[in-house]
Amino acid sequence: MAQVLEFKLPDLGEGLTEAVIVTWLVQVGEVVAIDQPVVEVETAKAMVEVPCPYGGVVTARFGEEGTELPVGAPLLTVAVGEATTVPEAEGSGNVLVGYGTGTPPARRRRIRNAAPDRANSTADRSAVTTKAPPTAHARVPAPHPVTESPVPVISPLVRRLARDNGLDLRQLEGSGPEGLILRADVEDALRAHAARVTARTAPEPVGTRTPLKGIRGAVADKLSRSRREIPDATCWVDADATELMRARTAMNAAAGPKISLLALLARICTAALARHPELNSYVDVEAREIVRLDHVHLGFAAQTDRGLVVPVVKDAHTRDAEALTAEFARLTEAAHAGSLTPAELTGGTFTLNNYGVFGVDGSTPIINHPEAAMLGVGRIVPKPWVHEGELAIRQVVQLSLTFDHRVCDGGTAGGFLRYVADCVENPAVLLRTL
């Protein structure tokens, strides 16, 4: 006789207490294998697929896509026993806290039975919470279903945003590569619809509400905490980056991997932190102590379709420019794919923010709590500059440092920033201090 087992949302690590259901990967009535991913969830750190530790037939799912569940809440139930035919798994390759060991198995093809329609599943209807109907002006009328080729959408967040607002993605033309529909395309369509509704029905403006949860919520909480707890100050300086750019060109002219500008700036940062370790620290508020760290885990800001994330290069002070270039490239690719792990997004001790990629000269960064400082780098552009006593056109960059005034005073912060600027203007300074 089959036994019905309940699978609860597991502890995903890093102190995470809840997750949002993004995409169900199985339906009620479907046969699943041990360790088969059954749902994709979004935490405050990353998107992850959750594997089920049981093999059998799915009898119920708990929560619609878009529902936020706490750790320990039921996800689904599985009927296991002699009456259930389930593929054998050689080992658990999907390790989450609390279960899963062994070598990773080959990717399994999902086995589907003739599953009942989602709308007709009694278990589904009883297991989810009914959402309140949206107001008339907040949703786009859904057209009649049509049968066409798959909609060019990769991100499940884009699908969810469209679904939550009743928008048919088939009606959109994507602005991404090969017609890929991006989040911006959906948001533009929703704004256009809201404007049309406003013009027809109401004199007052109508906006689109976006819940502050997932990555956006985590960023909002962290930035608010930083401004609330850290008495920050900012200093900045313009620097002539001509020689640094020439040095990079010369390095990349030789055989071997190319060196990125971000890697050279990171190498300068780690050298500056070795001379001014006060900025590689954090404040233990409860103990009223400044904790100075003996390693540099360098965070860097990366803008993605899902929002701003800060991947962390562990032990950046031990890596040369070539190794830093490779690690920056790996983490950036993972950030855009949404596959960064919680460990790759936490533990930073100092952050490097290259906002020059957005075409701006300066900024006053918000410190990545609980770190003590962040170095900002603007765009490098030709400007008039006095060089060797004469006016010349040079490659100029603005550098800014935001620091926690509890860990040091302006003299230390200014010394750090001046050393960074000296290395940018004359890379030989860095070679002399290595």
Catalytic residue list? 405, 409
Q: How far apart are CA 405 and CA 363, in angstroms?
A: 18
Tokens coding 155? 């991100």
Q: How far apart are CA 162 and CA 158, in angstroms?
A: 6
Find the largest Cα–Cα distance for the chain.
91
For tokens 């896509």, the residue is 65
Q: How far apart are CA 424 and CA 25, in angstroms?
A: 50
393 CB-near residues (< 8 Å, 6+ apart): 382, 383, 384, 385
383 CB-near residues (< 8 Å, 6+ apart): 393, 394, 395, 396
Tokens coding 145? 């279903």
Q: How far apart are CA 341 and CA 311, in angstroms?
A: 9
Q: Residue 316 class from Cβ within 10 Å (0-12 exposed, 13-18 middle, 19+ buried)?
A: buried
Regarding beta strands 373-377 and 350-353, do their DSSP bridges make them parallel or antiparallel, or are they unpaired?
A: parallel
**Nearest 10 degrees: Cα torsion 35, 40, 43, 47:** 100
For residue 396, the one-letter residue type is: V
For tokens 């679904």, the residue is 163
Q: Residue 11 class from Cβ within 10 Å (0-12 exposed, 13-18 middle, 19+ buried)?
A: middle
